[in-house]
Amino acid sequence: MSSKYAVILAAGQGTRMKSKLYKVLHPVCGKPMVDHVLTQIEKNDMDQIVTVIGHGAEMVKKTLKERTNYVVQSEQLGTGHAVMQAERLLGDKDGITLIACGDTPLFTAETFSELFQYHQSKGAVATVLTAHTAAPFGYGRIIRNDLGIVEKIVEQKDATKEEAAVQEINTGVYCFNNRELFKALHKINNDNAQGEYYLTDLMEVFQKEGKVVAAYQMKDFEESMGVNDRVALANAAKVMRKRINKEHMQNGVTIVDPDNTYIDTDVKIGSDTIIEPGVSLKGQTTIGSDCVIGAHSEIVDSVIGDSVKVTSSTIENSIMHDNSDIGPYSHLRPQADIGEGVHIGNFVEVKKATIGENTKVGHLTYVGDATLGEEINVGCGTVFVNYDGINKHHTNVGDYSFIGSGSNVVAPVEIGDHAYIAAGSTVTQDVKPHDMAIARGRQVNKDGYYDKYPVAQAAKETEAAKKK
């Protein structure tokens, strides 16, 4: 095949989004729309990709980085004008150029590949990617002659009543002979309802010159969905989620309720893992095999090993190793590293802490800025006190230690192997291996003191009432 180039149109502001965020940067399943477009184009082994930017140019560059070249359309004067900005980079090259829009995140690499192949097989100077829909309003219409040859593309605002009734629409994706594309762009004008230079006007230019214009009708209209407002954004995300979930299920993942499971595009999941309803898996998350991700859990940018059970918990920027479990209602904050076989129970928060193999942190506990060894038991209600009001401090706990319920471990402190912290202690000094620390006031019992309090009188009255 000839050399392949692409131009991504991403200069529009997107006023209908009513957003401070530049339109093509709105995410669909965890990735900006324009990134989805670029990713699918890249899969076709392109020789060069140029992205046309305007509003929010620096933010787009920051998102896409060095994966594409950039040109700036300082004034938005239409799609034809936008492509013209790429002439200095592509105008003198031989090959085929794909044109796509940065707000159409659902196109697949396969569709782009089919368009390239169809274009070349027809020997066309231009090929339009079209789709059929019973609701064509808002789309450019494909106008063919009696032989089925494309004569022109008419935009919605310029269409006659007969043209508006046509149900074959322009998806906004094209293939062109590259040199012919840039030559013809100099021949179009802005004599239309919008006062813009339409890329679609090239079809009429080529027809008048007797050159072949082809149209390839794609199979799935949903792929062509463009996003101009929040309603369309939600619809696109729904289609993308369905596609993502289907692929995971085909790869051996059980998704109990696909309509209520939210998995970002870059998430990886091993076989025989079960995903329950209401789960959100976001960012660069990787989940191993034979896991159970319980209902309404959220996992963000984390690595989950094999045979891990997550019950209704939140995990972000953390690691859970094989055979560990968490929840319900617990939270791994960034840089939590949960070792193999570790049990994190209910209402536990872990932050910037490493917890060693087979250690148990059962419930109602905060572990922050700490390193816990293996086979430790952390009792209920324990707090690792890591903040002095200015700085965070670290605690180390040795293997096989026991921390009694209701303890406060005030960092920085070192607790040795096989050490014991008595329940209710506030530990502020190091504890040597095999020692027991007791840091609490001695219990004092006051004889008959209960009877001096008002609660005693209330109790007597209740008791008397029950005897009647």
Relative to beta strand 27-28, strand 4-10 is unpaired
* Phi, psi (rounded to 5 degrees) for 181: -55, -55
Longest dimension (CA), the chain: 110
CA–CA separation, 433 and 117 (whole Å): 72
CA–CA separation, 421 and 40 (whole Å): 57
- Catalytic annotation, pick one of 296, 363, 393, 394: 363
**112 closest CA partner among 41, 47, 10, 36:** 41
Burial letters 208-225, b for 16+ CB under 10 A, else e: eeebbbbbbebeebbbbb
CA 114 to chain centroid, in Å, comes to 28
Give the contacts of 140 (CB within 8 A, at least 6 positions apart): 153, 154, 155, 156, 169, 170, 172, 200
Tokens matching residue 296: 């309404």
Q: Do 241 and 255 contact (CB within 8 A), yes or no?
A: no
CA–CA separation, 392 and 395 (whole Å): 10
Relative to beta strand 268-269, strand 286-287 is parallel
Alpha helices by DSSP H, listed for 176-305, are 178-185, 202-208, 230-250
Instruction: Count the Cβ atoms, other than its own, within 10 Å of residue 123.
Output: 10
Q: List beta partners, residue 281.
A: 263, 299
Q: Do 403 and 381 contact (CB within 8 A), yes or no?
A: no
Give the contacts of 309 (CB within 8 A, at least 6 positions apart): 291, 292, 294, 325, 326, 327
Please say if 434 is a catalytic residue: no
Burial letters 332-356, b for 16+ CB under 10 A, else e: bbeebbbbbbbbbbbbbbbbbbbbb
* Phi, psi (rounded to 5 degrees) for 259: -70, -15
What is the DSSP secondary structure assignment for residue 191, as one 8-state letter?
-
Positions marked catalytic:
363
